[in-house]
Structure 1
Amino acid sequence: MYVQPPQAFPALMSFLGILAAGAFTYVIYQYVFSPLAAFPGPLVAKFTKIWRAYGMYKGTWHRDLVDLHRKYGPVVRIGPNELSVGDPEAFRQIYRASKAFPKGACYSVIQGTRPFDLANERNEKIHGAQRRLVARPYSMDSTKRFEPQIDVLLDTLLRQLDGFAKTSQVFDLGFWIQLYAFDVIGTVSFSKPFGFVSSGSDNAIFERIQKAMDSAAWLMHARWFFKLHQNVIMPVFGNWLALNDRHGYFFQFSKNEVEKRKGQPGKDIVGQLFQAQAVGGQPNDLAITFMMTTNVFAGSDTTAIAMRAIFFNLLQNPSVLMKLRADLHKQCSGSSSGRISSNEAESSPYLQAVIYEGLRIFPSVAFVLDRDVPPEGMTIRGRYIPGGTVVGTSPWVIHRVPEIWGSDVEEFRPERWLDEERIGRFFFAFGGGTRTCIGRHISWLEMEKLIAALVMRYDFELADDAKIIEECGRAMLSALVFLKGLRVKISPRQVD
């Protein structure tokens, strides 16, 4: 006996057929007819952004990108409409100072609804106006005014480390470096450290920042889920994303500090911004708070990671460490006591080369800095790239291009910075073009002072259990390449 199928069955089959045909057409288009079809890359990446989001989620993205470029060449397709660029000429075009390529849509996840977000604002005109409002306190001249306060903080750190030196106790130098870096932000932003170095504790803030960075890393490439969470899930079930700490916990933390400083004179960053506000009415209190939130949230980890990497490479290369000490003795009159001035640090070419090389071989940023190709398009290696395509470079990729750095790209060799000036055009640890990190002068000052102080004051020995997690093959998933486990034993240096 024939049973007539439900009326809905043919409709369902038709729908599935249309869906299958649409999927097939999409795959064929991306693989054959897309403007990016000619660019090599992993097969899955040609069809879905999920591949890239998963790459960030699993935590080895920075190394994976380097391997992809070694396999596929200077330009790799990492998404349906996304290219990772390791070509020197194209890199210079994308991150140029004039006619800048705007930031990609992934940055809108980090910005959220903030009207003032210098690091993540995508509109170049708005970004330019915002940067002009706050640039002066971050200039080189203003940064040097913070030096006496940083010296006081550095003395506090050295007293703490002297205790480890006297007892020959193994300790985590990286953790103390991170305490110092975070206290520097308090010092330059609010005229007082947060007390982390003096107490030897971070009050669990570091873990909170790292979890937020972890969250940001993959959400930047899963914007649909971020919007779903913010608009549907969070109003009903509450917040499930650590990234929201940037707009919640750390915003409130910064707001409290800004309110304490309002109406009080000072040469710190907040004080200078309030002075600008008194003269011209801008930036307003909210913009100042947002700027300080960025300082607190993102101003310390990148520098701390860099200093950890520099020290690890110095201890792995004793000849480089000896050469650095010799150069510091030659250039810096007070180096044996541990503290030198910024002018003395700048006069040590090898110290500067060591810092550059440390940031080259181990940049803090793990991801591709996405940019949108302008409407007129661009050409990479003879191939036209249409407007709207997302292109970008990771510091890990551009810092390992043999065409720029030579065949020894994986070697920690500061001398390369003394031999060749042109390579500076491809230094990408602080970003590039109009989006170069506004806090780079502060970061550089605290790095050169701390590195010189520790190198001249102590002898170091890596502990038997010293590990940097990334070098062990298990990176902390994040937008940054966090380092852990720089365990050392130190002793006072005997200086002739």
Structure 2
Amino acid sequence: MAILQALTQLDFTSWLLLVPALAVAAHVALWLADPHGIRSYPGPLLAHFSDLWLGYIAAQGHRSEVVHDLHKKHGKFVRIAPNHLSISDPDALQVVYGHGTGTLKADFYDAFVSIQRGLFNTRSRSEHARKRKIVSHIFSQKSVLEFEPHVRLYIKQLIQQWDRLCEAGARGESGDDGEGGWRGRSGRVWLDCLPWYNYLAFDIIGDLAFGAPFGMITAARDAAPVALNHKQAMASYGKEKTDVQYLSAVEVINNRGTFSASLGVLPPWMRPLAKMLPWYSQGQEAVKQLAGIAVAAVAQRLTTPTDRVDLLGKLQEGRDDDGNLMGKEELTAEALTQLIAGSDTTSNSSCAITYFLAKYPDTQRKLQQELDEALGSDDEAVPTFDQVKRLTYLQAVIDEALRIHSTSGIGLPRVVPEGGLTVCGRTFPAGTVLSVPTYTIHRDAEVWGKDTEEFRPERWFEQDKNAVQKTYNPFSFGPRSCVGRNLASMELLIILASILRRYDFVLEDPDKPFETVEGFLRKPVECVVGIKRRNL
């Protein structure tokens, strides 16, 4: 009682001093108690006491690189938060993420929920199994082949745009089609290829997920309709037109990813406080806007029914073990998951691969020789998946680019289940958070050789296949791995085969590093290249 009375008599200034002091004392007490037995592991000093260190690093946009440097300094185990250990060992992948180990997604994923939990951010094992059962058949190899004509259609539209710009560039003309514009010089058209790959990826996934493209390629502009009132739009699905505004879809996805990835590493009790800060409040707006893109697109599709084969149609037909269909909110949440997973990832990867091929002209010529020999005199602008799926050097180029530039580079956090877990000879109690950073294991010199930072597709014909198989992790691993892997692989094979057979690329500045920024995904900042038509 005496303590309570003393507290009630404190003035405002005293409270301002007392609250931080109590917070520091609580963090120190937790460090001394060491409930998960990880106090002895090395890492940044602040990370031993508070999640704020990782929150700050995530918000700066280079988490993977920072954690990688820590592993180079400290070794296999690095403490990156009071209850989070990063493990840079390929052997840890199967234990931390594999089938039958019982690990669960950490509360990090709560920061990615908007409409309702989807396949990506649900943490319940039973709910995830239910959702995956409904969704997984949609991305079987057989189902994916049904989407191929839609994929090829939009690649052809991109080629038509680039052919037009190449002709104008060869005449020395310049213009403002696309973000950043374009200019003709030295017989080439010079442009930032990243926006164009964004247009392509969004039009493809818009068509597949919602039955209609966003129209970005033909408009040469990044704009997507966003529902102004989510509840009203979902209530009127299939009945009336939805009120929308047009926003940059790429900017919305980027802002949402940065916000959620930095908010998710903070403890749940701290998140409401963080959301009061201006930077986080802007991120919350991006979360709502991104959900609004899905709501508007689903509303448009359901207002104009069709019998065409696409992702949304298959989701509408999907049933769980009890024979239940998805409700409106769940359907929209899963469509949103497909929008995110199928847009940013494809465009980022296509841009990175183009950069590396432009940087290494000998590799580009070797790939073009394989494409010329395989496709022969076929003058079709866009080859079929069947024509390119067995091209070994093309696959090696894609694999090598995704090794160096995995769109997901961070260590995805998993919670140790009851009974504990032994990883790389160390046992951790229930509740400990573990992760394996893809960015770092993709640079493991024991697996990939000493030249891990060099783009060299030939290594894929030289390395130990077993070591590579257990280390290469661009689509994650285990029961929570990327369900759309087959679709992503098909898209990249056809996109790269089409583009590289038709065009020759050079970098505007070969010495300029490939700059990236990281939210949840690692994204290129730009890639300015000179393009000209090849003589086939």
Aligned positions of 1:250-399 closer than 5 A:
250-260=293-303, 262=305, 264-276=306-318, 280-333=323-376, 337-399=380-442
- The question of whether the paired residues in 2 share the 8 Å contact of 1:335 and 1:453 is answered with no
Match of 1:245 in 2: 288
The sequence identity of aligned pairs, in percent, is 29
Structure 1 residues 159 and 22: alpha-carbon distance in aligned structure 2, compared to 1, 3 A threshold: closer
Moved more, 169-178 or 334-343: 334-343
- Measured in 2, the distance between the counterparts of 1:267 and 1:184 equals 14
Task: Give me the whole-angstrom Cα distance separating, in 2, the residues matched to 1:240 and 1:461.
Answer: 36
Deviation at 1:448, TM superposition (A): 0.9
Matches within 5 A, 1:79-98: 79-98=81-100
* CA distance, structure 2, for counterparts of residue 384 and residue 332 of structure 1: 53
Gaps of 5+ in 1: 1-6
Q: Residue 72 of structure 2 corresponds to which residue in structure 1?
A: 70
Tell me what 1:176 maps to.
196
In structure 2, C-alpha distance between the alignment counterparts of 1:16 and 1:164, rounded to whole Å: 64
Q: Which residue of 2 aligns with 1:187?
A: 207
Residues 245, 411 of structure 1: alpha-carbon distance in 2 compared, 3 angstrom cutoff: same
Counterpart code for 2:104? P
8 Å CA contact retained: 1:62, 1:366: yes
- Out of 483-492 and 277-286, give the one that drifted further: 277-286
Q: What corresponds to 2:524 in structure 1?
A: 483
Say if 2:253 and 2:340, in contact at 8 Å, map to a contact too: yes
Question: Contact 1:463–1:489 (CA<8 Å) still a contact in 2?
Answer: yes
How far did residue 324 of structure 1 move? 0.9
In 1: Cα distance, 2:205 partner to 2:108 partner = 27
Shift, 1:435, TM fit: 1.0
Aligned partner of 1:60 among 62, 75, 96: 62
CA offset digits 1:9-28 (Å, max 9, x no partner): 99879x96994765554443
Distance change (3 Å), C-alpha of 1:157 and 1:251 = closer
C-alpha displacement at 1:198, in angstroms?
A: 1.0
How many residue pairs end up in the alignment? 478
- Structure 1 residue 182, shift from structure 2 partner: 0.8
After TM superposition, give the deviation of residue 266 of structure 1 in Å.
1.7
Q: Does structure 2 conserve the Cα–Cα contact (< 8 Å) formed by 1:133 and 1:282? A: no
Question: C-alpha deviations, 1:425-479, integer Å up to 9, x for none?
Answer: 22211111011111222211111111111111011122249966xx34xx43521
Contact preservation (8 Å) 1:466, 1:486: no
**Matched residues in 2 for 1:113 and 1:206: separation?**
19
Alpha-carbon distance between aligned partners in 2 of 1:82 and 1:75, rounded to the nearest angstrom = 10
CA apart distance, 1:163 = 1.2
* Structure 2: segments with no counterpart, 5+ residues: 170-188, 224-247
Q: TM-score, normalised by structure 1?
A: 0.88
Specify which of 503, 508, 511 is matched with residue 458 of structure 1. Answer: 503
Which residue number corresponds to residue 421 of structure 1? Answer: 465
TM-score of the aligned structures, taking structure 2 as reference length: 0.82
Closer, same or farther: CA 103–450 of 1 in aligned 2, 3 Å: same
**CA 122–268 in structure 1, closer or farther in 2 if over 3 Å, else same:** same
Aligned partner of residue 202 in structure 1, secondary structure: coil
Aligned-partner SS, 2:491: helix
Residue 142 of structure 1 corresponds to which residue in structure 2?
Answer: 143
Q: Contact 2:115–2:333 at 8 Å: present in 1 too?
A: no
Question: What letter matches 1:104 in structure 2?
Answer: A
Q: State how far apart, in whole Å, the 1-side matches of 2:426 and 2:113 are.
A: 33
Which residue of structure 2 lines up, in the alignment, with residue 3 of structure 1? none
Give the letter for the 1:242 counterpart: E
Q: Which residue of structure 1 aligns with residue 172 of structure 2?
A: none
Q: Secondary structure at the match of 2:413?
A: strand
2:330 aligned counterpart, secondary structure: helix
CA distance in 2, matches of 1:316, 1:328: 19
How far did residue 273 of structure 1 move?
A: 2.5
Conserved in 1, the CA contact under 8 Å of 2:115 and 2:291?
no
State the partner residue of 1:126.
Answer: 127
Instruction: Specify the SS of the correspondent of 1:300.
Output: helix
TM superposition shift of 1:80: 0.8
Aligned partners of 2:257 and 2:520 also within 8 Å: yes
Query: Take 1:97 and 1:156, find their aligned partners in 2: how far apart are those partners?
Result: 41
Cα deviations across residues 292-317 of structure 1 (Å, max 9, x unaligned)?
11122342001111111111111111
- Letter of the structure 2 residue corresponding to residue 267 of structure 1: V
57-66 vs 244-253, which moves further: 244-253
Contact 1:336 1:457 in 2 (8 A): no
CA distance in 1, matches of 2:99, 2:30: 37
Bigger drift between 452-461 and 411-420 goes to 411-420
SS of residue in 2 equivalent to 1:367: coil
Q: Secondary structure at the match of 1:299?
A: helix
